[in-house]
Structure 1
Amino acid sequence: MRLSTKFFALALAPVMALALVLGTAPQAAAQKSIKLHHLNNDDPFDNATGAMATVFKSLVEAGTNGQIRVQTFPNGQLGKDNEVLQQVRAGVIEMGIHSVGGFASIYPMMGIIDVPFAFPDIAATYEVFDGPFGQKFAADMEAKTGMKILGFGDSGGFFHFTNSRKAITTPDDMKGLKIRTMTLDTHQAMINALGAQPAPIAWAELYTALQTGVADGQMNPVPIIAFARFNEVQKYLSLTGHLFAPYVWAVNMKFWDTLSPEEQTIVQNAARSAIVAGRGISRIIEASDRGLPALSRNMEVNALTPEQKAAFQAQAMPAVKQVIADKHGDEGVAMMNAFLEAIEQAGN
C-alpha cells in the first residue's frame, strides 16, 4: 500500500531540518566555502586586516548571491602565521592574509623588499605593489609556492622605531639598543648596520619583553604600536619610516581552480576593494586620536629630517643589499633592482 504524500513530508521534515543545520540541504550543497585566516580582530574599524576581511566577506557573499560563503578566523585562531600558511598551501583552509615574516617561511625572496629607507612616501608603496612590479612579484610567488596571490595589503604603514631609553635622531643613537625584529636576515642586518643589537622575539612575547627590558625597543607602524599598547612600555617614538612590510593575500591554488571565471573575478575584485579599505583604515587610525595623537600624549615623538634619513639610509642600505645578494644571488638582485626602479618611477 502506498504511503501518502503528507506522510512523506512529515517523515522527512526532521531530516531536512538536520540537513539545513549541517549544510547538506540541496541548496547549501551547491555553495562553496572560504575559510579566511588573518592576524588581528575582526572589527573593521580597529585594524587593517579586520577591515579587509569584513569588506571581502561582504562583497563576495553579495556578489555571488550567497553561493560563496566566507568564514573569517581572526587573531591567529588557527595557529601561528607560518603554520597557517602551510594549511593554506595544503588546502586545509582556502586563504589567508599573511605577514611578510610568515610568508618568508615558504618564499625566502620576500626579503628583497626590505631595502631600508627606500620609499619617499606612503602613496608610492601603493603604486609599486599595485603596479607592474607587484604583478611580477606575485607571479614569482605563485610559481615558487603553488598558491594564488590576490594582492598586497597595508599592515599599518611605514615602520618606525620605539624604545625605552632615548630619542633616535642619528644612527649613533642606535648603538647599544636591543631592538626586536622578525626572524628575517634583512631586518637583522639593518639593525646590526645601525649599531644596535637585533633581538628576534615572537610577537606574542613582545609586550612582556619590552616591559621587562629583555628588549629596549621594537619597530612597527603607528597603528600597530597603538593597537599593541606599546606606549605603556616605551617612552620614545622616532618616526623613521624605514620599512614598508605589506600583508600577502594568498589562496590555495586547487580551490582557486574550482571557481568559475565569474567567481574568480568577484573574488579578485573583492580582494582589491578590501585592500583599499585596509589602507584607508590604516591612514585614519594613524591620524586619528587612536594613533599618533594618542601616542604623543605619553611618548616623546620626533620625526627625522630628510638629511637625518639620508644618514640612516647611507649606513643601513648597503648592508641589506649585500645580504640580499649573498642569499638570493643574481635572481634576488634582479628582483630587488626591479623593486627599486619601480619606487623611482612612482609618482612620475
Structure 2
Amino acid sequence: MRKLVSLLLTAALAVMFVLPGAALAQKVIKLHHLNKDDPFDNSTGAMAQVFKSLVEAGTNGKVKVQTFPNSQLGKDNEVLQQVKDNVIQSGIFSVGGFAAMYPPIGVLDIPFAFPNISATYAVLDGPFGQKLSADITKKTGFKVLGFGDSGGFFAFSNSKKPIKTPDDLKGLKIRTMGLETHKRMVSALGGQPVAIAWAEVYTALQTGVADGQMNPIPIIAFAKFDEVQKYLTLSEHIFAPYVWVMNPEFYKSLTPQEMDVVNYAAKSAIVAGRGLARVIEASDRGLPALAKKMEVYALTAEEKAKFREVAVPAVKAYIKEALGPEGEQLMNDFLTAIAESEKAGK
C-alpha cells in the first residue's frame, strides 16, 4: 500500500510540474465567426471547423483552435480591435464590419461587377486578391488568410411587390449593412436605405420598419426571411466576401511549419465554405425551400443592364469621392481583374 501511495504521489507531482509547461508550450488560436459552429449549416461554420481540424492535426496538437461562433465576442468592428490587440488571434469578418478598419474594402461593392460566381474565386484568389491582402496588411497590420464566401450573390427580397426594374424599388425601405456603397446603390435605384443591425433585421421586416433587404440565398434561408417576405428577386447585384485575418504578432510566433499548416488550412477551409454555400443554394435548405413560400424572379441580362446603368455610376462616384486616387486605382484594378478572368474563362 505504501508503495502504491508513493507511486501515486510521484505521478501527481509529475503531472503538476509537466502539464503547466506543456500548457505554456501549446499555442491557441481563438477564432471569431458570425454564425453557428455547425459545418453543415453555414459557410463560416464550415470554414471554422475545417480550419480547426486541419490545424490541430497538422501540428500534432501543438496549435489548438478555439472557436467563438454567433458573434458571441461582440460585433465585427469590436472584435477587429480584439484581434488587433491579440486578445483573440483570428476572425472571419463581414465586409460591413471590416470596413470600419479598412474603408477601401468598399471597392468590392461595384454592382453587377462579376459575370458569374466562379469569377469571384479567380479574382479574390489571384493577383488582385494578393494586392488587396497586401494593402490590408499595410494599412491595418493584419495578416490576411483569405477571402471567404458569405453565401454567393446578393438577392433582393421585400414584402410589397415583385422587383423587375429599378422603378420597382422606388419608395421601398431596404435594409443594408450600413456600408455607404450599399446605401448609394439603393438610393440610386430609388429605394430608401435603412441601416439595421443584423440581430434586429427579422423583427424590422416583420414590423415594417424595413420593407425589404438584400443578402445571399443561404443567409435569407437560414434567417427565415421567407416568413416575413413575399417577393424574392435573383438580382445577383453584389458579392460581399468574408475577410479572414489573423493577429500579425501571433502569426510570427508560429514556427515555419506551423505557419504552413495555418496557411493551407485556411485555404482549404475557404474552399469548403464556398462548396457548402453552393450546396445550400441548390438544396432544399436554399432556393427550392424559399420558392415554396416566396414568389421568385430572376432578372434577365437585359433587365440587369438597366439596373447596372443606374447603380454603377453612383457607387463609382462615391468611391472616387471617399477613397481618393488610391481608392480609385484599387477599384480599377478590381474591374480589370474581373475582365481578365472573364477572358481567361472563354
Please indicate, yes or no, whether the TM-score normalized by the shorter chain is above 0.5.
yes
Are 1:180 and 1:218, in contact at CA under 8 Å, matched by a contact in 2?
A: yes
The verdict on how the C-alpha distance between 1:211 and 1:11 changes in structure 2, with shifts beyond 3 A counting, is same
Cα distance in 2 for partners of 1:9, 1:143 equals: 57
Cα distance in 1 for partners of 2:56, 2:212 equals: 42
CA RMSD in angstroms, aligned pairs only: 1.5
Write the mapping of 1:82-101 to structure 2, written as runs, cut at 5 A: 82-101=77-96
What SS class does the counterpart of residue 36 from structure 1 fall into? strand
Counterpart of 2:184 in structure 1: which amino acid?
A: A
What SS class does the counterpart of residue 175 from structure 2 fall into? strand
What is the aligned length? Answer: 342
The answer to whether structure 1 residue 198 and structure 2 residue 196 are counterparts is no
What SS class does the counterpart of residue 241 from structure 1 fall into? coil
Q: Where in structure 1 are there 5+ consecutive unaligned residues?
A: none
Structure 2 equivalent of residue 242 of structure 1: 237
The verdict on how the C-alpha distance between 1:130 and 1:6 changes in structure 2, with shifts beyond 3 A counting, is same
Q: 1:151 aligns with which of 127, 146, 152?
A: 146
Q: Where in structure 2 are there 5+ consecutive unaligned residues?
A: none
Q: 1:294 aligns with which of 289, 296, 299?
A: 289
Q: What is the CA-CA distance between 1:25 and the residue it aligns to?
A: 3.4
Q: Percent identity?
A: 65
Q: 1:117 aligns with which of 87, 112, 118?
A: 112
Cα distance in 2 for partners of 1:19, 1:314 equals: 69
Counterpart of 2:332 in structure 1: which amino acid?
A: N
Are 1:48 and 1:282, in contact at CA under 8 Å, matched by a contact in 2?
A: yes
Cα distance in 2 for partners of 1:306, 1:268 equals: 38
Q: What is the CA-CA distance between 1:15 and the residue it aligns to?
A: 5.2
Cα distance in 2 for partners of 1:215, 1:19 equals: 60
After TM superposition, the score normalised by the length of structure 2 is 0.96
Deviation sequence 1:142-179 (CA, Å, 0-9, x none): 01001100000000000010000000000000001000
Counterpart of 1:11 in structure 2: which amino acid?
A: L
Counterpart of 2:106 in structure 1: which amino acid?
A: G
What SS class does the counterpart of residue 235 from structure 2 fall into? strand
Q: What is the CA-CA distance between 1:325 and the residue it aligns to?
A: 0.2
Q: 2:168 aligns with which of 161, 166, 173?
A: 173
The verdict on how the C-alpha distance between 1:294 and 1:331 changes in structure 2, with shifts beyond 3 A counting, is same
Q: What is the CA-CA distance between 1:27 and the residue it aligns to?
A: 3.1
Deviation sequence 1:89-122 (CA, Å, 0-9, x none): 1100000000001110100111111100111000
The verdict on how the C-alpha distance between 1:258 and 1:5 changes in structure 2, with shifts beyond 3 A counting, is farther
The verdict on how the C-alpha distance between 1:58 and 1:122 changes in structure 2, with shifts beyond 3 A counting, is same
Are 1:16 and 1:25, in contact at CA under 8 Å, matched by a contact in 2?
A: no
After TM superposition, the score normalised by the length of structure 1 is 0.95
The answer to whether structure 1 residue 226 and structure 2 residue 221 are counterparts is yes
Write the mapping of 1:132-151 to structure 2, written as runs, cut at 5 A: 132-151=127-146
Structure 2 equivalent of residue 269 of structure 1: 264
